[in-house]
Amino acid sequence: MMKVTLIGAGNLATQLGKSLHRAGVEICQVFSRTEESARTLAGLLDADWLTDVSRLRSDADIYVLSVKDSVLCRLIPEVCKGRGDKLFLHTAGSMPMRCFEGQARHYGVLYPMQTFSKKHEVCFADIPVFIEGNTQETEEQIRSFARRLSRRIFSLSSSDRQYLHLAAVWACNFTNYCYGVASKLLSEHGIPFDVMLPLIDETTRKIHKSAPAEAQTGPAVRGDRNVMRRQLALMDGRSDLQELYRLISAGIGEEASATHAAPDEESH
C-alpha cells in the first residue's frame, strides 16, 4: 500500500489529502506550523500530526509539500534530508521543479488546476493535474500516483507551468475582480448582485462551446463609441476603473479586428 505524508494543511493539502484517503492511500503524517490545522486535517485522514518538522518520520513513500511558495524553499532541505530513497513532490504552480535540485534524488511536481477551499468539497477526478518528474522513471511514478486522483493527467515543464499559472490568474482571479466591480456598481444603486448570476452563468457556459474571442459581446466588440463614452462617464471619480475600462475595451476591439470575426451576439 502506498504511503503519503503531507507537508502543509491548507486548502489544497486538505482536498488532496481527502481525495487520497478516499482512494485508499494511507496518510502517515500531516505537518503544519499551525497546530490546529495539522490536528484537524490529520483527524480527517486518520494520520498523525506534527508542527515540528524535525519529528517527521521516514515511513512514507511520497512526501507532498503543499505550502506557500515562500515557505517551500526553506522546508525542502529539512524534509528531504536523510530520505534519499523517497519521492518528493510540490504542488505550486509558479515554483520550478529545480527547487528540489541537490536536495533529493527523486522529485517532481503535481499541480492541480483548480481553486480549493477547506470547507468546499471538490471532485478531484475531473481536475486537470499537471505533472513533471526529474527523470522519466520518476515522472512515470508520479503519473501512477496522480492516476489515483484524476483522470486528466498532463506532463508539463516548469517553464510552461508558469504560463499555465498565469493563465489561471487571468481566468480565475481577474474575472473574479470583474465580478467584484460589477457587484460594487450594483450595490451603489440598490440592485442586488444576484441579478447578474444568469448572465455570468451563461457567459461561462458559452466558453465551453466557443473560443472566448468568438463569444465576445458588448459595446467594445461592436465598436460602439457612444455607449463606451457614456459608460466611462458613469465611473467619474474612479479613474482606476476608467483606465481599466479603456484598456480592456481597446483589447477587445483589437482582438475583434485581428480575428475579423463578426461578433456572434448583439446584446451585451
Residues 199 to 258 in contact with a copy of itself, rule: CB under 8 A: 199-204, 206-208, 211-213, 215-222, 224, 226-227, 230-231, 234-235, 240, 243-245, 247-248, 250-252, 255
Q: Which of 210, 218, 211 is nearest to 253 (CA)?
A: 218
Residue type, 128: P
Our finding on whether 191 is near a copy of itself (CB under 8 A) is yes
Please count the other Cβ atoms lying within 10 Å of the Cβ belonging to residue 140.
Answer: 12
Contacts of 55 (CB under 8 A, 6+ apart): none
Sequence length of the chain is 268
Dist. CA 185–CA 176, nearest whole Å = 14
**Would you say 21 or 152 has its CB closer to a copy of itself?**
152
The CA distances from residue 99 to 57, 73, 90, in Å, are 22, 7, 9
Judged by CB under 8 A, the stretch of 17-25, 42-50, 52-60, 151-159 that binds a copy of itself is 151-159
Our finding on whether 195 is near a copy of itself (CB under 8 A) is yes
Per-residue contact string for residues 21-60; x = within reach of a copy of itself by CB under 8 A: ----------------------------------------
Dist. CA 267–CA 255, nearest whole Å = 18
Our finding on whether 73 is near a copy of itself (CB under 8 A) is no
CB of 129 to a copy of itself, least distance (A): 10
CB of 9 to a copy of itself, least distance (A): 10
First to last CA, the chain: 55
Dist. CA 123–CA 22, nearest whole Å = 11
**Would you say 35 or 137 has its CB closer to a copy of itself?**
35
Among 121, 126, 137, 140, binds a copy of itself (CB under 8 A): 126
CB of 69 to a copy of itself, least distance (A): 6
